[in-house]
């Protein structure tokens, strides 16, 4: 007897490419347009703060690849430091 194969999600489109996802995205874009149109002065006033907020967020998310080991010198397991 053959086992039933699990349902494959390879051919299934992501949620954003479905009819519902495109509709939600369209309404979101129209809503964002009208909110920004009416409150453009407020939106521009927030931009400097968003730039300042982006610095620590980029620091947190972009330093994941360094693989710091809490200050221990564990170079035997790290292949990037081998000569």
Q: Quote the distance between the C-alpha of residue 34 and its chain's center.
A: 25
Q: How far apart are CA 13 and CA 10, in angstroms?
A: 8
Kindly report the average pLDDT of the chain as a whole number. 78
DSSP label of 1: -
pLDDT top residue among 17 and 7: 17
The highest-confidence range among 15-19, 24-28, 35-39, 68-72, by mean pLDDT, is: 24-28
Q: Residue 21 has which token pair?
A: 């996802």
Return the beta strands (E) in the chain as ranges.
none
Q: Residue 80 has which token pair?
A: 């990037």
Tens of pLDDT, residues 28-54: 999 999 998 998 888 888 889 999 999
Domain boundaries, the chain: 18-63
């Amino acid at each position: 007897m053959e086992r039933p194969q699990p349902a494959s999600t390879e051919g299934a489109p992501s949620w954003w490419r479905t009819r519902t996802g495109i509709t939600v995205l369209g309404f979101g874009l129209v809503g964002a347009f009208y909110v920004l149109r009416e409150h453009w002065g407020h939106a521009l006033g927030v931009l400097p703060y968003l730039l300042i907020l982006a610095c620590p967020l980029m620091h947190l998310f972009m330093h994941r690849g360094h693989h710091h080991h809490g200050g221990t010198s564990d170079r035997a397991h790290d292949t990037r430091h081998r000569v």
